């Protein structure tokens, strides 16, 4: 993916992935599947484009890096954030506060169903800062999140017949 958001796009969606998601495809495939982070990013770019949106995909293993990206999203005028904060979802009040502070429509995504996993994964601070939370659909949850965000902000699917 590009190192900077597409400056010509006026409808940027930040797709933020947290710790260990760079290991998708090799880390616990029985839980997270065989798709890689590159597969996730390609799915997000394609899905966002269907709604006339530009996906800006970033991953960080560092809480502060994710917070910086959330702040950057506001500065760049992003119309939405899709976030899979990984384990930080369950521990980070700072990520919650950053999401609340920027006032950008946000959807939380988890690849696995966090509610059938360990008890400590059942609570999410980031979910409380999002208008929706999706879990358990594998990487297809990102597609669902972008579709839901598009509906929330009034972005309509482009007519594929004209494309």
- Residue-wise burial string across 9-42, b where 16 or more C-beta atoms lie within 10 A, e elsewhere: bebbbbbbbbbebbebeeeeeeebbebbbeebbb
Write down the catalytic residue from 14, 32, 88, 142: 32
State CA 137 to chain mean position distance.
14
What span, in angstroms and rounded, lies between the C-alpha atoms of 137 and 158? 24
Among residues 14, 96, 110, 142, which one is catalytic?
110
Query: Is 14 in the active site?
Result: no
> How many whole angstroms separate alpha carbon 144 and alpha carbon 155?
14
* Ranges assigned E (strand) in the chain: 12-17, 54-59, 80-84, 106-110, 132-135
| 96 counts as catalytic | no
Q: 15 and 46 in contact (C-beta within 8 Å)? A: no
Active site residues: 32, 110
């Amino acid at each position: 993916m590009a190192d900077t958001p597409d400056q010509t796009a006026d409808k940027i969606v930040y797709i933020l992935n947290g710790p260990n998601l760079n290991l998708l495809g090799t880390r616990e495939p029985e839980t997270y599947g065989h798709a890689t982070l590159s597969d996730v990013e390609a799915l997000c770019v394609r899905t966002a484009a269907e709604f006339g949106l530009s996906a800006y995909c970033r991953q960080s293993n560092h809480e502060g890096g994710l917070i910086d990206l959330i702040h950057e999203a506001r500065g760049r005028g992003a119309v939405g954030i899709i976030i899979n904060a990984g384990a930080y979802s369950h521990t980070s009040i700072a990520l919650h506060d950053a999401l609340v502070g920027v006032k950008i429509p946000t959807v939380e995504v988890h690849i696995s169903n966090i509610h059938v996993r360990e008890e400590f994964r059942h609570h999410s601070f980031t979910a409380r800062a999002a208008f929706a939370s999706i879990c358990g659909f594998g990487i297809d949850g990102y597609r669902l999140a972008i579709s839901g965000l598009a509906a929330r902000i009034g972005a309509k699917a482009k007519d594929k017949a004209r494309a």
